[in-house]
Amino acid sequence: MKYFILLVTLILIKQVTFSLSMPAPEPVNGIRCMALTPQCMGNNQSTRPSDFCYQCQYIQQQNWRFNMIPTHAPWWSPYGNYNYSNFYRPGAWYNHGLSNHYYPGQGNMVAGKPNLYFHGVEKDLRFVINFNKKANMLASAPIHNEDGWMLKKDRNKIVVNGNKYDYLYYDYKLDSHSLQSSRGFCGDRHSVFKKMVSALNEMKFKDKEVTDFEDYWSVKLPKGNFCVYPQSHDELQQIAQWNSSHAPGFFKRVLFVVVPEAILGTKYAANFKNRPSQGWNPISGVYRHPSSTNPLQVHEWGIAFLTTNKKK
């Protein structure tokens, strides 16, 4: 027995030594945790996102157990029946949607990583996103304050608070019922992804912007068949309204709402009851003010998923 106790003691000492020898994670300056990764969204007692993401994919929830060894599996991985093939596809996937538990707010949908690209910025620009009463910000990079972002351009980079970015992004919760549900396309995850990329190309997003979309979303769609209902500026301006110190003379804006085909016609589908009855014209997401000589251009793409609750 005493040899067993000695062995356990030596193992514990080794674990503590290993844990204390691990380097401290470096903070990501000015970046909030991404809403689509629930390890950054709190725990069972709190679903408010932390202010900053400290290598959040490796964070463990500390509890009463003796658990000091860092791990590459998030603390929440053993909990619940989250049926997605990895921790990042696209988030806490449950019952044909994102688990509502991890995304605070009144809405029934999460818009993931809408990217914003700015072109033709000739002077300092204040850009603010205002949400209606059934929508709220979940995450942003850099942090979007009440006064929004104050930005300028330095060659091909966007500069905010002295830091340079290729693009800005934000995640938000919203209510789907003000979105269009009649235009779009359906197919398996590979075919709908190709159609989304094709739409961006038809809208003439810049090559780098399309590549960013492909790099990020090509591995994040869950398995299955989906219907996609693209939303353009007219629909989105009712939810996440753009306001800037000088108005863009030209912009492109699209949010692809991705709904599993299996839930159409059920209570989980909200206002997306049927397959799209007509196609979506990508040119509808392109806007130009004929009377404006402002060189400012803003481009935005994103993907949104419905949220679901656990069955009681």
The per-residue pLDDT string of the chain (312 residues; one tens digit each, 9 = 90 and over) reads: 655 555 556 555 544 443 333 333 333 334 444 445 444 443 333 333 343 343 344 444 444 444 444 444 444 445 444 444 444 578 888 778 998 888 899 899 999 889 999 999 988 999 999 999 899 999 999 999 889 999 999 888 999 999 999 999 999 999 999 999 999 999 999 999 999 999 999 999 999 999 999 999 988 888 899 999 999 999 999 999 999 998 888 899 999 999 999 999 998 899 999 999 999 999 999 988 777 778 899 999 999 999 987 554
pLDDT tens sequence across 191-214 = 999 999 999 999 999 999 999 999
Distance between CA atoms of residues 229 and 244, nearest Å? 27
Closest CA to 115 of 158, 179, 153: 158
Q: How far is CA 24 from CA 21, 32, 70, in A?
A: 9, 18, 11
The per-residue pLDDT for 215 is: 92
What is the Cα–Cα distance from 265 to 275, expressed in whole angstroms?
9
* Spatial CA neighbour of 300 closest among 215, 223, 213: 213
* Contact between residue 173 and residue 104 where contact means Cβ atoms under 8 Å apart: yes
Which pLDDT belongs to residue 157?
A: 93
Two tokens at 68?
């000091």
Model pLDDT, residue 272: 96
Helix (H) or strand (E) holding 288: strand 286-288
The two tokens of residue 282 are 């990508």
How is the beta sheet containing 157-160 ordered, strand by strand?
163-165, 157-160, 149-154, 125-131, 240-244
Residue whose C-alpha is closest to residue 117's, from 158, 154, 173:
158
